[in-house]
Amino acid sequence: MTVFENVAFGLRVKPRRERLSSTKITNKVQSLLDLVQLGWAGESYPAQLSGGQRQRVALARALAVGPDVLLLDEPFGALDSQVRHELRRWLRRLHDELHFTSIFVTHDQQEAIEVADTIVVLNRGRIEQRGVPSEVYDLPTSAFVHRFLGQVNELPVRLQDGRAFIGPIDISETTDVSATAPKSIALIRPHEIEIGAEDSGWPAIVVAVRVIGPIVRLELCAEGQPVHEPLEAEISRERHEHVNYRVGQKVGLRFRRWQVYPANGAAA
């Protein structure tokens, strides 16, 4: 079928008493195609469209029948990253214009954060956490959620004389030591690691420098940590160009933020 007939299909097979007139179907389909920015493609066939355009046709076809809830199961999974990014922005705008409800299933945390008003993180069929994207990202209630919503560094927490430490860094002032399990871990996101002079924090050596577009990812071997488990830190490209970190350089590490959990993964 043509693009037009694909979108019109659900309207044409409705029971006769619910079916719109042919003119109204034509007008509604054209309106939907215009909405998904494919008004020009009505007479085209799906094989003549790109992957992103076919997904927009599928969404228009689903919206045509006026569903109460739209179910989207990894709709952008087979598309390249640039097309996925464009469709996420487009879907967000479509939601804002039409005010419909959808359940969007994805394993891509960036996709969830960009598209959703509410995120529900599931683990083995159970809800781990539910909330607005900023809340779930900034205040994860379990190690599973923390790991799921982005890359993390995992470090053991050491309890000594009523105080808590990550490596040589005393975290007692901002950590409830009395509630910290004997075997606990701290999860720290790469952008939450500060890198300074060698004597400014936990001694470490730069073991890799990778420029990734606007960010630079550094791998760092902290003193006392296994060589095969380097920490990852992220800084802006502008900062890197100013400081110019090099492999083998000695630095000092401090942490802006961390969150402590029992080693079994439950929230502390």
3-state helix/strand/coil string of 67-125: CCEEEEECCCCCCCHHHHHHHHHHHHHHHHHHCCEEEEECCCHHHHHHHCCCEEEEECC
What is the predicted pLDDT for the residue at 265? 53
Nearest-angstrom CA–CA distance, 119 and 192: 23
SS3 of the chain: helix, strand, coil, percent, to 5: 35, 30, 35
Q: How many residues does the chain have?
A: 268
Distance of CA 205 to the CA centre of its chain: 30
| 3-class state of residue 248 by DSSP | coil
**198-233: b (≥16 Cβ within 10 Å) or e:** eeebbbbbbeeeeeeeeebbbbbbbeebeeeebbbb
Cβ 245 vs Cβ 209: under 8 Å: yes
Cβ 246 vs Cβ 218: under 8 Å: no
Q: Six-digit token pair at 43?
A: 């007479």
**For the chain, how big is the Rg over CA atoms in Å?**
25
Integer CA distances (angstroms), 84 to 44, 69, 81, 153, 184, in order: 22, 22, 5, 27, 37
Strand partners, 235: 216
pLDDT in tens, the chain (268 residues): 999 999 999 999 999 999 999 999 999 999 999 988 899 999 999 999 998 899 889 989 998 998 889 999 988 877 788 878 888 888 888 888 888 899 999 988 888 998 999 999 999 999 999 999 999 999 999 999 999 988 999 999 999 999 999 999 999 988 888 888 889 999 999 999 999 998 989 999 999 999 999 999 999 999 999 888 899 999 999 999 999 999 999 999 999 999 999 987 544 4
Strand partners, 129: 121
What is the predicted pLDDT for the residue at 177? 87
Q: Return the half-sphere exposure (C-beta side, CA atoms, 13 A cut-off) of residue 227.
A: 1
